[in-house]
Amino acid sequence: MGIPRNPAADEVVLTVCTTCRREGSDPDAPRPGRLLADRLADRLAASGDDQPSGVRVRGVECLSACTRSCTLHLAGGPARWSYVYGDLDPDTHLDDILAGAAAYAATEDGFVPWRERPVVFRKQSIARIPPVDMPGVDLSADPTAKD
């Protein structure tokens, strides 16, 4: 049978799109997502009690949210909800992203109470994605039936 899984112990991953660029930006300038990914990785690599543990960052070439550059996906194992956030700024949102990731890492299900989330996680959410194993809505039920 094995040891029961502790969802809160699952690694939290910040996946950052590294290819999007903002409209009107210099095409030769570093892309905002690449800057964000590098800065998050640098902060997470730094030692100190103010850095969230169990959180890592990775870059990917596309999250298909190009009009909301720069974007990241916050996930933490199969039992947690995950989130996509956009319109992030690598110069101003770094601390809030790390605080939000730390709060998320402390949960079992991925739900951080709305008022406890950093403003950037409250206002710039693109999607909330359910855990893969979560039961869905019963599509065989009559959608017009009143509860």
What topology is assigned to 10-129 in CATH? Glutaredoxin (3.40.30)
How far is it, in rounded angstroms, from Cα 103 to Cα 106? 5
Q: Confidence class of residue 2 from pLDDT cuts 50, 70 and 90?
A: very low
User: How close are the terminal C-alpha atoms of the chain, in Å?
Assistant: 39
pLDDT in tens, 89-131: 999 999 999 999 999 999 999 999 999 999 999 999 999 999 9
Higher pLDDT, 47 or 91: 91
If you average pLDDT over every residue of the chain, what do you get?
Answer: 87
List the domain boundaries for the chain.
10-129
Share of the chain above pLDDT 90, in %: 63
Cis peptide before 66 (omega within 30 of 0): no
- 3-class DSSP state of 103: helix
Q: Is the pLDDT of residue 8 over 70?
A: no
How far is it, in rounded angstroms, from Cα 92 to Cα 36? 10
Q: Is 113 left (phi over 0), alpha (psi -120 to 50) or beta?
A: beta
